[in-house]
């Protein structure tokens, strides 16, 4: 492991220098990895491992035609590398349980009886295990229970891999039956294309992940954008101006500078007017949202967010309600303005005009 100083706190991380792909292949040489679920994370992790020379099969439900046909389109062959869920579990030694959180609860009675002694049950989210009082996902004692959680969407996991980089991942061991659980975990983490791996626990992973999704990564970001856009519009600014000042400049310019060099560097490379205003107002925003984040974290830890998720995602009309909520967002003035702005980006204009 490499010791890295994260802002004064030294942590152990695993990089490809000390655990290269060749070593991962050696550790996994006698394993068959079954990726259950071909929705969000499944395709990326399965294809990355396949491209890295790992023995991978995919498990799905033939009746779920969309994901089954997507797997076939991606090159997985029914009866050879693509199987119904139960058959895939029986053939594998490492079972990646990558269906949705609600589906993990629903499918568990079909998966658990087919686990064999010495198998590794792999997750990319600690949800089902940490909240097993609600999900009922309690693994048998004779398997390893491990986790690798990429810090990005499946689309990013695949895109970064194809670009020759990687995406950072956390890893954890919940149950070590074989004595090889950690080695298996890190090997799979490298095989799916992780840039580096940092240790966590199932509990810490799910607490931080659920908080982040509801907060900065998605919920808070969308809410703050909507608030600023609405204030600008109410004060006479055009949709184009409001969207560009709220979203376009952030996503197309400033956030890239933050990602490359940090927030202080971005501040240092903006106008002095922007610097002064940002430095002053960030304290006000932090103080304003801190109670909301504390409320979010408490709701996560208490299991209330889990109850909400399982209840909503298990409802028979879940997809219809989800589409209605997304349609409301998509058809709002702000995001209709966004679609128009994106179409006017130079690269899109050139494509549309054959340039």
Q: What is the reported pLDDT for 349? A: 54
Check: CB of residue 243 under 8 Å from CB of residue 336: no
What is the number of other CB atoms lying within 10 angstroms of the CB of residue 125?
Answer: 20
Residue 171 sits at φ, ψ, to 5 deg, of -140, 155
Q: Give helix then strand counts, H and E, for the chain.
A: 20, 10
d(C-alpha 45, C-alpha 39), whole Å: 11
Rounded distance, CA 147 to CA 172, Å? 5
Q: Which domains does the chain have, with CATH numbers?
A: 2-201 (3.40.50.720), 212-352 (1.10.1040.10)
Instruction: Output the pLDDT for position 350.
Output: 53
DSSP state of 96: E
- Specify the pairing of strand 82-84 against strand 2-6: unpaired
What is the C-alpha to C-alpha distance for residues 64 and 81, in angstroms, rounded to an integer? 17
Task: Say what the pLDDT of residue 165 is.
Answer: 86
The catalytically annotated residue of 125, 237, 283, 298 is: 125
Residue 172's DSSP bridge partners are 147
Own/partner contacts of 338-346, CB < 8 Å, gap of 24 or more, are 338/243, 338/247, 338/248, 340/239, 340/240, 341/240, 341/243, 341/244, 341/247, 341/248, 345/252
pTM of this structure = 0.88
Q: Is 225 helix (H, G, I), strand (E, B) or coil?
A: helix
Cα of first residue to Cα of last residue in the chain, in angstroms, is: 49
Q: Which of 123, 115, 177 is nearest to 149 (CA)?
A: 123
Catalytic residue status for 125: yes
The rounded distance, in Å, linking the Cα atoms of 325 and 340 is: 21
pLDDT tens track of the chain, all 355 residues?
778 887 788 888 998 889 999 999 999 999 999 999 998 899 999 999 999 999 999 999 988 889 999 999 999 999 999 999 999 999 999 999 999 998 999 999 999 999 999 999 999 999 999 999 999 999 999 999 999 999 988 999 999 999 988 899 999 999 999 999 999 999 999 999 998 999 999 999 999 999 999 999 999 999 999 999 999 999 999 999 999 999 999 999 899 889 889 999 999 988 999 999 999 999 999 999 999 999 999 999 999 999 999 999 888 899 899 999 999 999 999 999 999 999 988 766 555 555 4
Closest CA to 202 of 147, 275, 271, 257: 147
Residues 6 or more apart from 266 whose CB is under 8 A from it? 254, 257, 258
2: phi > 0 → left, psi -120 to 50 → alpha, else beta; which?
beta
Task: State the Cα–Cα distance between residues 346 and 156, nearest whole angstrom.
Answer: 23
pLDDT of residue 348: 63
pLDDT confidence of residue 117: 98
The pLDDT of residue 354: 54
CA pair distance 110, 346, nearest whole angstrom: 51
Six-digit token string for 255: 């956030």
154: phi then psi, degrees, rounded to nearest 5: -60, -35
pLDDT at 313 (0 to 100): 86
Q: What angle do CA 123, 15, 42 make, to 5 degrees?
A: 30
Listed in sequence order, the residues at least 6 apart from 337 whose beta carbon sits closer than 8 Å to its beta carbon are 239, 240, 242, 243
Distances (CA, A) of 98 to 11, 101, 126, 204: 28, 8, 11, 19
């Amino acid at each position: 492991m490499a010791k890295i100083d994260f802002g004064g706190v030294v942590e152990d991380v695993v990089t490809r220098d000390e655990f290269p792909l060749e070593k991962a292949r050696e550790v996994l040489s006698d394993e068959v990895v079954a990726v259950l679920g071909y929705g969000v994370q499944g395709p990326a992790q399965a294809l990355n491992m396949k491209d890295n020379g790992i023995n991978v099969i995919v498990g799905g439900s033939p009746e779920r035609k969309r994901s089954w046909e997507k797997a076939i389109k991606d090159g997985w062959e029914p009866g050879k590398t693509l199987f119904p869920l139960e058959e895939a579990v029986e053939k594998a030694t490492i079972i990646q349980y990558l269906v949705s959180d609600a589906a993990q609860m629903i499918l568990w009675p079909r998966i658990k009886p087919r686990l064999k002694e010495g198998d590794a049950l792999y997750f990319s989210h600690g949800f089902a295990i940490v909240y097993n009082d609600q999900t009922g996902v309690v693994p048998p004692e004779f398997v390893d229970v491990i986790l690798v959680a990429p810090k990005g969407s499946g689309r990013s996991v695949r895109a970064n891999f194809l670009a020759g980089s990687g995406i950072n991942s956390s890893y954890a061991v919940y149950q070590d039956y074989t004595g090889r659980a950690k080695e298996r975990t890190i090997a799979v983490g490298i095989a799916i294309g992780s840039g580096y791996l940092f240790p966590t626990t199932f509990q810490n992973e799910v607490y931080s992940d659920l908080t982040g999704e509801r907060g900065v990564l998605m919920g808070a970001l969308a809410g703050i954008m909507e608030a600023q856009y609405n204030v600008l519009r109410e004060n006479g600014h055009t949709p184009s101006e409001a969207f560009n000042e709220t979203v376009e400049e952030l996503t197309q310019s400033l956030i890239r500078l933050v990602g490359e060099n940090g927030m202080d560097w971005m501040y240092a490379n903006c106008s002095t007017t922007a610097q002064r205003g940002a430095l002053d107002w960030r304290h006000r925003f932090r103080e304003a949202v801190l109670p909301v984040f504390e409320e979010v974290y408490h709701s996560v830890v208490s299991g209330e967010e889990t109850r909400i998720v399982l209840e909503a995602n298990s409802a028979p009309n879940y997809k219809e309600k989800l589409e209605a909520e997304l349609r409301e967002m998509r058809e709002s003035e702000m995001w209709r303005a966004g679609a128009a702005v994106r179409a006017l980006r130079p690269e899109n204009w050139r494509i549309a005009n054959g340039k």
